Structure formats: C-alpha cells, structure tokens
Amino acid sequence: MARHVTAAGGVVRQWLLLLFMMVGVNSFLLPPQTSVLGRNQCSKSLLTTTVQTRSSKEIRPRITKISSVATPTPNELLKLDEKAQLGSLGREEVEAEENAKERRKLVGLLFAVTFLCALDRVAMSVAIIPMNEQLGFGQAVDGLISASFSFGYMLGIIPTSVLGAIGSPKLLLLLGVGLWSIAQVVTPFAASSSLTALYLTRFAMGFAESCTVPTVQTFVSLRIPDEQKSTTLSFILSGMHVGTVAAFLLSPSVIDVGGWEYIFFTYGSVGLGWMFFWSKYAQDVSSTQLTTTASADSTRQHVEEIPWLSIIKSKEVQAICVAHAAQNFGLYFYLSWLPYYFHEAFHLSVSESSFSSVAPWIASAIFGNLAGRASDTIIAKRFEFFDTTRVRKISQSVALLVPAVALLAISHSQTLTNTEASCYFTLITASASFSVAGFGSSVLDICRKESKLVSVIYGITSAPAIAMGSFSVWSCGQILENLHNDWNLVFQIISAVNVLGALFYIYNYRSRKLFD
C-alpha cells in the first residue's frame, strides 16, 4: 500500500512538473501580441496632437452651418470629433483583439491535441516491456504491433486529408480523437484476447490519429497570418515532443500504481476529456474559406477538382515527399525502439530506460520551436541570400545530415556508455526537429493562403513517408531478432537514408506558389 501511495505521489509531481513546463513553453514561444490598451493610448495621443494643431479657420465653417439648434462651442466640437474617431479605432482594435484571442485559443487546443497524439502513441513503447514479460511477446511481434499502428496511419492519411479539405476540420478532429481514445482504452482487453485483436486495435488507433497533422495544417493555413506560420506550426507540433516526454516520464509511475494496463486507461480518458473543450471552444473554418457540403455528388465534384496529377508531378511535392520519408525512417525508429535500445544495450530497468529517452525529446521540443521562429524572422528580414528556398534547404539539411553523422559515430563507438548514448540521441532529435522549418513548412509555401489543398498535399506527401516509417519499425525488429541485436547495422541504414533524402530535397525544392 505504501509503495502505491508513493508511486501515486510521484505521478502527481511529474504531472505538475510537466504542466509547469508546458505553460512556460507556451508563454515564451507563442507569437507576441500587441496590447489593445497600448494601441489605444498611442492612437489617442496621436489624435489629440492632431486635433490641437487644427486652426480656428478649420473649425469656423462647421459652426456657421449649425443654425436651427444651439451652436456648440469649438471645444465641444473638438471633443465630438475626437470621440467619433476614437470610437472607430476602438471597434477595429476590439475586433482585432477578439480575433487574436480566438487564434490563441485555437493554437492552445491544437497544441493539446498533438500532445495527446504523441502521449497515446508512445505509451506502447514503454508498456511493451512489461507486456513482453507478462504475455511473452518477442521482438518480431513488437515490430508488428508498431507497424500495425503505422499501417493504419498510412491508409488513413489521404482520406482524412481530403475530408479536411472538403469538410469540417473541427468535426474531423473531434471524431478522430474520439476513435483513437476509445482504441487506447480497449487496448489491454485486445492484448489479453489475441494478437489479431491487438493488431486491429492499433491499426484503428493509427487510422484515427492520421487526421491530426493535416487538420493542423489546414487551420494554420487559413487562420494564422503568413508572418507567423512557421512559428505557430512549430509550437503546435512541439506538442508531440512534449507528449513524448510525458509518456516516458509518467508511464513507469503509472505502471507502478496499477500495472501496464492503466497506461492505456488513463491516457485514453484524457483524450475523451479533451473532446469537451474542443467542441465547446474551437471555432471551425468559415464557409467562405472552406466549402462544406453534405451532398455525395458535390463531395465527388470537390474531389475531382483536386489537381491530383499536377500535385504528384511537381518536383517541389516530390522533394517534400522524399525528405518526409527520410525523416520518418529515423523518427519512427526513435519513437518505437529507443526505450528498448537503452533497456537491451545498457541493461536498464523500465524506469531507467524511459528516463534516458526523455532528454532527446525535450531538446526536440525546444529546438523545433527555435527553428520555426528563426526561419520566420530570417524570411521576414528579406535578406538577399537567405530567401525562403535557402532557409528551407538549410533547415532540412540540419534535420537530416546532423543525425546521419551522429548515428555513424554511435555505430563505430566501441565503449559507448548510457550517458554518451543519451547525449548523441539528444543531438539527433534536436537536429531532426529543424524539419518543421524545412519540409514541414514547405507545404504552406507552395499553396496560397486560402488554398484548400494544404491538407491534401500534406496527405499525399505523408503516405509514402508513413510507409517508410512502418518499414523502418518492422525491419528493425527483423534485424534485431535475426542478427542478434545488431543495433549498429540499424543506425548505419538510417544514416544512409538521411543522406539520400537530404540530397534529393536540396536539389529539387524551390519555394514558390504552385497551387490555389
């Protein structure tokens, strides 16, 4: 009993620490908003100065035109004029502030959903260790469990992207979170039933989570000013890194309290709670920005209007697709196998292996936000050399080539310690997070602001990328089981894929508006 109480106290402390970190990141990294009060005072000061400089010749004609009523004094006329102009300025500023509040509310909710998306997904990476001990799974089965999720994500990404373009993004995300939260809750029952049931549950969860990033892309494209797009997108997607950290920090304590099953019950319940706030506070994209119809014929017409062939043949889209695929090949490995790597290579416990996996994702959240803000700032300065295309290429090169070098260093190290490995993977994930300012923002670059194709193009480029990630997870399991835990070979393969992806993106990508 005392052990459970202590573990429960540890969970509460970790949740509070995580909440404090999220609030700090939110206040530091969200785009600054100018105060309405400050603007009002500035406008009033300027107006007062202007009014006071008016000559009596400008005021006299107004007085002479008023004949049937009592003639106001010049001071009364100045006050009336000032109130009218300040009233007009005030209405515009109030509307602007209301819009800014709605955007901040939307960004907060989207950050929360990417947090939940990663929390629910990465939970299996921690739970799989005690599940193996209790249910007797092997490394090949572990790889198939992760691949089932990825396969569902891959099959769902294009349909959900199209639905996000022609339907209601708010409703789509609400249904997606509902489905994956239910799948999360029933995972323990499926695992106890049969492997087939577990595979199907993870498949359904992956299919449902596939709506997250395309929906985020749609909202950022239509509701966020151009000069804040990379910064905002970086902040929202950093929720995935924070969610990954939360999964690694909290899951061992939750297991201590109630067993590995409680991870899925707890995290799934949090997702169901998020649905209430999303349905109540989120504003959908307006009908002038996105066409929403219930007719099957009109839906078919909207789908047929999408320039599928032009999108697929575009060199820019191909560059985004290849860079995304190379990025996912490593990312899916880190998400699925990193705790197991620390557990097997350094003989760490569940808690110790999870803790060793935390630092890389904290660094990823921080540097991803910094990369987004830096890219927006550099592009806004309009430097001659650092145009948008070069900023994207430099960011993506950092995201792929730095991890490639670090992985080669790990594979050739003969006396690697747990601490050194954690430092290497921290560098790898921190560098990989620069992709949010690389291919992650490239889709927004090649589509016009009001384009409904943002989510569609993201879906098209994501499908092969997810296939590569799924193959990475599956092949890693096969290599480890059949080649006696040859981690070095895995690291070298990921490094080679990263280099090829970076070269293809650098050679083919150019930032220009291609799709309306």
More confident position, 65 or 229: 229
pLDDT tens-digit map of 18-35: 444 444 444 444 444 433
Half-sphere exposure of 284 (CA within 13 A, CB side): 18
CA–CA dist 34, 357 (Å, integer): 38
The residue-averaged pLDDT of 318-326 equals 94
How far is CA 388 from each of CA 166, 181, 324, 412, rounded to the nearest angstrom? 29, 38, 18, 37
The residue-averaged pLDDT of 153-173 equals 86
Supply 502's token pair. 């970076």
Give the pLDDT band of residue 8 (cuts 50, 70, 90).
very low
Supply 194's token pair. 């049969």
Closest C-alpha to 147, from 203, 102, 201, 103: 203
CA–CA dist 434, 370 (Å, integer): 9
Q: What is the pLDDT of residue 52?
A: 44
How far is CA 211 from each of CA 143, 173, 266, 413, rounded to the nearest angstrom? 23, 6, 22, 40
Q: What is the pLDDT of residue 34?
A: 39
Q: What is the pLDDT of residue 303?
A: 67
The residue-averaged pLDDT of 38-46 equals 42
Residue 5 has pLDDT above 70, yes or no: no
Q: What is the pLDDT of residue 31?
A: 47
Residue 11 has pLDDT above 50, yes or no: no
**CB contact set of 88 (below 8 Å; sequence gap of 6+):** none
- Which residue shows structure tokens 């007085």? 63
CA–CA dist 174, 184 (Å, integer): 15
How far is CA 150 from each of CA 201, 266, 341, 466, rounded to the nearest angstrom? 12, 22, 20, 6
Give the pLDDT band of residue 297 (cuts 50, 70, 90).
low
The residue-averaged pLDDT of 348-369 equals 81
Q: How many other CB atoms are there within 10 angstroms of residue 179's CB atom?
A: 17
pLDDT tens-digit map of 271-282: 999 999 999 888
Residue 284 has pLDDT above 60, yes or no: yes
User: Does any domain span residue 418?
Assistant: yes
Show the domain range for 488.
Answer: 103-283+295-508
**CB contact set of 226 (below 8 Å; sequence gap of 6+):** 449
User: Does any domain span residue 210?
Assistant: yes
Question: Of 75-89, 239-253, 305-319, where does mean pLDDT reach its minimum?
Answer: 75-89
User: Does any domain span residue 425?
Assistant: yes
Supply 62's token pair. 């107004």
First to last CA, the chain: 62
User: Does any domain span residue 176?
Assistant: yes
Residue 39 has pLDDT above 70, yes or no: no
Residue 203 is which amino acid? F
CA–CA dist 502, 500 (Å, integer): 6
User: Does any domain span residue 1?
Assistant: no
pLDDT tens-digit map of 171-220: 999 999 999 999 999 999 999 999 999 999 999 999 999 999 888 988 88
Q: How many other CB atoms are there within 10 angstroms of residue 313's CB atom?
A: 10
Q: What is the pLDDT of residue 397?
A: 95
User: Does any domain span residue 50?
Assistant: no
Provide the mean pLDDT of the chain.
79
CA–CA dist 102, 223 (Å, integer): 10
- In a 3-state reduction of DSSP, which class is residue 290? coil
Residue 65 has pLDDT above 50, yes or no: no
Residue 62 has pLDDT above 50, yes or no: no
- Predicted TM-score (pTM) of this structure: 0.67
Q: What is the pLDDT of residue 25?
A: 46
Give the pLDDT band of residue 406 (cuts 50, 70, 90).
very high
Give the pLDDT band of residue 48 (cuts 50, 70, 90).
very low
Q: What does the buried/exposed string (b/e) look like for 452-489 if buried means 16 or more CB atoms within 10 Å of the residue's CB?
A: bbbbbbbbbbbbbbbbbbbbbbbbbbebbeeeeeebee
CATH code of the domain containing 125? 1.20.1250.20
Q: What is the pLDDT of residue 448?
A: 66
Question: Of 315-324, 437-446, 499-508, where does mean pLDDT reach its minimum?
Answer: 437-446
More confident position, 404 or 135: 404
Provide long-range contacts, Cβ within 8 A and 24+ apart, for 152-155. Answer: 152/202, 152/203, 152/204, 152/205, 152/206, 152/207, 152/208, 152/210, 153/206, 153/207, 153/209, 153/210, 153/466, 153/470, 154/206, 154/210, 154/463, 154/466, 154/467, 154/470, 155/207, 155/210
**CB contact set of 121 (below 8 Å; sequence gap of 6+):** 149, 205, 209, 247, 335
Closest C-alpha to 363, from 413, 320, 427: 427
Contact 422, 359 (CB under 8 A): yes
How far is CA 267 from each of CA 51, 111, 132, 204, 471, rounded to the nearest angstrom? 61, 16, 20, 16, 27
- Which residue shows structure tokens 């009001």? 450
Supply 130's token pair. 């005690």
Q: What is the pLDDT of residue 44?
A: 42
Q: What is the pLDDT of residue 502?
A: 96
Residue 259 has pLDDT above 60, yes or no: yes
User: Does any domain span residue 65?
Assistant: no
Half-sphere exposure of 255 (CA within 13 A, CB side): 20
Q: What is the pLDDT of residue 207?
A: 94
CA–CA dist 120, 421 (Å, integer): 25
Residue 43 has pLDDT above 50, yes or no: no
Q: Specify the number of domains making up the chain.
A: 1
Question: Of 108-112, 200-204, 294-298, 486-490, where does mean pLDDT reach its minimum?
Answer: 294-298
